Structure 1
C-alpha cells in the first residue's frame, strides 16, 4: 500500500443522514479508503428511504415543472384528496418556491434540466446493480420493468404519451389492454392501454435494502451514530477545521463533512452560507397486507398513483402534499389511495378496506429545478452535499454516491457536476 493510500485511510468523513443517500455514499467513501461515520437523529432509513414506492424510476426523465400543469393547478390544489395539494396554512410559506418552480417551466430551463436528469438516470441502474452486488443484496433488486396503465384514455393521447417518452430516449413499448394483462393478469379489465418501461426495476423492500447497505457499511468498519446535528462550525477554505456539535452536547472535529440529510438539509446549508430553495413534499403510502401477484410496479396515468409488490404486502403510493416538516399525517390522504388500488386490482382487494393497511407519510426534499444538490461547497472545500433528490432518491442513490466519492478523491467525476452544484442558486 502506498504512502498516499495510507494517508487517505486516516481521513475521517462524517455524513449527516442515514437514509439511502447517506448509506450509499458512506460505502463508496469506504471503498475509496476513507474512515467514515454516519450521523442521524433517528437511525437507519427512518424517513422517505423506508416508505418510498420502491421504484427505480429511470424512465422519469422529465422535470416536475411542466407548463402543462399550470391550468390544472388550481383544481389540484383545492382538492383536499387530490394527487397534488398545498395545505392552506402553508400556502404563503411555499409561494417563493412555487415562483421558482414556475420559472423552471420556461422551455430553455426545462430542456436543460431534463438533460441533467437524463444523465443521472442513464447511469443509475448500472450503479445500483454494482453497489447491491458489492453489498450482497442483489436479491432485493428486480429488473423486469414497470407499467404505466391507462383506463379509457383516447388512443391518440396514449400514443402522444408514448412518443413523449420514446423521443426522450426512454426504452418503452406501447401495449394494448390485453397485452398489459398478459404481463400482469390480475390487473383490471378496464385498462385499455399501457406503456411498458423495459429498462427499469424495483425493490420489494426499500427498508431491507437500506439495512443491507448499513450492514455492509458497518462490516467495513463504519460507525452509525444516533444523535442530532445542532451546529456546524468551519473556517472557510480550511482543509482540516470542521467542528460539529450534537444535541447530546458532544462536539466532534472532522476532516470532511457530507450533508445528506434530505428534507432537513436546508438549515445545515444555511449555516454554511448557502441559501437553497429546498421545499418539503409530504409523500404518502398505504401499505396493504394482501400480497399481489404483480411482478413489477404499476402506475396509473389517470389516477396518479403507483402500486408496488412488496415482500410484506402491496404498497399504494403517490400523493404529494406541501405542508412543511411539522404538520401531522393526514390519514385521509393515505386512505384515498385504497379505492384507486381496488380499481386496478379488484380481486385482491375485494374484501379489504383502507383500515386494513398501514398509513405512512414521509418527507421528500424537492428543488424547483428537479435536480439534486451534489458536490463540494464553493465556500468550504472540506464540505460536500448530496441532497434534494426528491422522488428519485432511491434511483439516484448509487450514482450520486459514486460522484461525490470521485470528487472528494480529486478525480474527474463520471458525470460533470456543474448542473448540480449548490452555487447554481447564487
Structure 2
C-alpha cells in the first residue's frame, strides 16, 4: 500500500476537483489529485463557458413531464431520453417528479440562489489571485426569443426571476438588434442578464489552475479508482496503480461519483448524467459579443478565444453509449436561424460530455464519516463551471473547520437518506466493477 503522506486525496480532474485542489494547496494542505484521464478533458473541456448565475430554477418542473413522450420519440430534440436507457433511469425520473412539488421546487430554487449569488464574486476573487482575470468576461448574457408570444413569456419569466433576486431586463426587438448586430429579423426580443459572464476558454482555465497548483505543491497521479474502504486511521483506495492510503478523500468525480459514495458513505445517491453536446466554430470570432441562449431552441452560443461555441441539449442515455453527434451538428440549424447570414462552418468540431445530475438540481457539498474524513463535491449538473469557485471556498471551510460562508443544509448528502453512524461506515473491500 502506498502512503504518500498527503493531507487529502482529490478524486476527479475536472473544474470542480481542480478548483478545490488549487484552493486547498494554496491554503497549505498537501494534496494529491487522482484522475484516470487527462486533466480537464471531461465535461469541463466542452462546457458552454457561461457563468449562469441567472439559472436558479430546478430542472424538475411539470413542463419536463409534459415533454416525456416527445423525449422518447425525437432523437434530435433539445431534451432527449434514449428509450434503451429508460429502465435504468426510471428511479431517477421518479425522484425528479417528486421534486416537482411546490415545496421541493422552492427548496431547490433557494439552494441554487445561495450558490449562484456567491459564484461570480468567488470566480472574480479566484481569477484575480491566479492572475487569470483575462479569461473571464463580465459583460452579461442574453436570452432571446422569436415571437411576440414568446416575448410575453420572457417578461413573465423576468418577473419570476426578480422575485427570486435575479436581475434581468426585458429588451424589445429594437433594443436587442441595436445592441447585437447581425441578428435575424425573426428575433423579436429578449432578456438581458447583467450579473452573468462567460469564460473565453474553459479548458485553458482548468489547465492553468492545475499548473499553478502543481507549482504550489499539488501532486498528481493518473489512476483509476475502483473502490475503497475505511481503516482505523484513514481510507484505503483501490486504484489501477495499486492500493493507496489516504488520510482524507474528496470525491469530485462528477458523473462517475456514485459508486465511491456508495462504497464509502454507505448511501446510494440518485446520480445520473445529462449528456451535453457542443459544436465549435473556429471561423466565428466576432459574433455575438456575449453568450446568447434561445428560449424556443434551448441552446446557447458563447464567444470564445478559439471561435464560437454552440452548446446545449440534454440527453439521458447513461455513461456507456457512444455519442450521437447528429445532436451537435443539429445545433447549426438553430444558430443559423438566429442570424441574418449563415455562420462559418469550416473546421467545425463536435463534442459530447457527461454532466453529473441529481434530481433536485442541487450538488452535494459535504463532509461525512469518522472525523469528517470523506469530503464530497459532485452533482453540479450544468452549473459545474458556474459553481466551481464557490464550491472550492466551501470545501476549504469544511476541511479547516471554519464556518462556511453559506448555509450548507441544502447540499448535505443526508438529504438522500439516512447515513450510517460514523463508527459504522463501510469498511468492506471494494465491490467488483465499481469504477470511477
Per the normalisation by structure 2, the TM-score is: 0.91
Structure 2 residue matching 1:81: 3-state secondary structure? coil
The answer to whether structure 1 residue 205 and structure 2 residue 201 are counterparts is yes
1:259-270 map, 5 Å: 259-270=251-262
1:283 aligns with: 276
- CA deviations on 1:57-97 (whole Å, 9 max, x unpaired) are 00001011012332233223321110011111101111110
Which stretch has the larger CA shift, 211-220 or 178-187? 178-187
In the alignment, the residues of structure 2 paired with residue 171 and residue 15 of structure 1 have an alpha-carbon distance, to the nearest angstrom, of 36
Distance 1:167 1:77, change over 3 A: farther
Greater displacement, 324-333 / 147-156 = 147-156
SS of the residue corresponding to residue 336 of structure 1 reads helix
Match of 1:35 in 2: 30
* Distance in 2 of aligned mates of 1:181 and 1:62: 28
**1:411 is the counterpart of 2:399:** no
8 Å Cα contact 1:17-1:39 kept in structure 2? yes
Residue in structure 2 matching 1:255, options 215, 223, 247: 247
Q: Find the partner of 1:26 among 21, 25, 38.
A: 21
How far apart are 1:255 and its partner, in Å? 1.3
Q: Does residue 123 of structure 2 align to residue 128 of structure 1?
A: yes
- Taking the aligned partners of 1:43 and 1:134, their CA distance within structure 2 comes to 25
Q: Do structure 1's residue 330 and structure 2's residue 321 form an aligned pair?
A: no
CA distance in structure 2 between the partners assigned to 1:72 and 1:380 by the alignment: 45
1:32: Cα distance to partner? 2.5
| Equivalent residue number for residue 15 of structure 1 | 10
Residue range with higher mean Cα deviation, 358-367 or 149-158:
149-158
- The equivalent residue for 1:168 is 164
1:356 is displaced (CA, Å) by 4.3
Corresponding residue for 1:193? 189
Please, which moves more after superposition, 124-133 or 71-80? 71-80
The aligned counterpart of 1:345 is 339
Cα contact 1:43–1:225 (8 A) shared by 2: no
Deviation at 1:136, TM superposition (A): 1.2
**SS of the residue 1:211 aligns to:** helix
Give the 3-state SS of the residue equivalent to 2:359 in structure 1: coil
- Contact kept in structure 1, 2:277 and 2:312, CA below 8 Å: yes
Superposed displacement of residue 251, structure 1:
2.2
Aligned to 2:422: none
Deviation at 1:348, TM superposition (A): 4.8
Equivalent pair of 1:77/1:84 in contact (CA under 8 Å): no
What's 1:70 paired with? 65
CA distance in 2, matches of 1:268, 1:103: 25
Cα pair 1:129 1:138 within 8 Å, conserved:
yes
CA contact (8 A) 2:287 2:308 kept: no
Using the alignment, how far apart are the partners of 1:70 and 1:411 within structure 2?
42
After TM superposition, the runs of 4+ consecutive aligned structure 1 residues lying more than 4 A away are none
Corresponding residue number in structure 2 for 1:375 = 366
Structural RMSD (CA): 1.5
